[in-house]
Amino acid sequence: MNTLVERHHSPLLGFLYRLTGGDRALAEDLAQEAFLRVLRSIEQYAHPRPFKPWLYAIATNTARDYFKRADTRYTDSMAEDFDSPADDPPDAHLLAAEDARQVAAAMAALPDHQRETVVLRYYQDLSLNEIAEALDVPVGTVKSRLSLGLKRMREMLEKG
């Protein structure tokens, strides 16, 4: 289990961070819960099925379960401040941070199913087939969700 956690914790935390709209503490809690669920259900893992989509399916369901609870209230979070490399002029840093905030806000405004798909594809670099397996949907649905999600994000970013 240690090897699996060492290998997958950081990327999974990044996925959950983006899925929760930038709430690091919540993302850490969800990652820990996802790994506990993996441990509890490891006998259901069917080798040689790829592990990564199976893990992300569990993590996605963990996040969904969290947001479904009646006592949970979802609020949008803005992206954290970013450290600027020393070579970048301050104006470039401010513009990059503002762009990142706008992208984070646009992503947070997407419906959950589109945000999950966009994050898995562009931040976690899963293939369309891996996303389909992780979300238990057909590949065509993944393509549709990506297309619609990216279109909505473009529209929101163009509005400024």
Sequence ranges of the domains in the chain: 2-78+88-159
Angle between helices 24-40 and 51-68 (to 10 degrees): 120
CB 8 within 8 A of CB 64: no
CB 142 within 8 A of CB 128: yes
Count of beta carbons in the 10 Å neighbourhood of residue 96: 13
Q: State what percent of residues in the chain have pLDDT above 70.
A: 81
The answer to whether the Cα torsion of 128, 134, 140, 145 is positive or negative is negative
pTM here?
0.66
For residue range 36-68, list pLDDT tens digits in order. 999 999 888 888 888 899 999 999 999 988 988
| pLDDT score, position 20 | 86
Q: Binning pLDDT at 50, 70 and 90, where does residue 71 land?
A: low
Instruction: Output DSSP code: residue 124.
Output: S
* Fold of the domain spanning 2-78+88-159: Arc Repressor Mutant, subunit A (1.10.10)
| pLDDT score, position 145 | 94
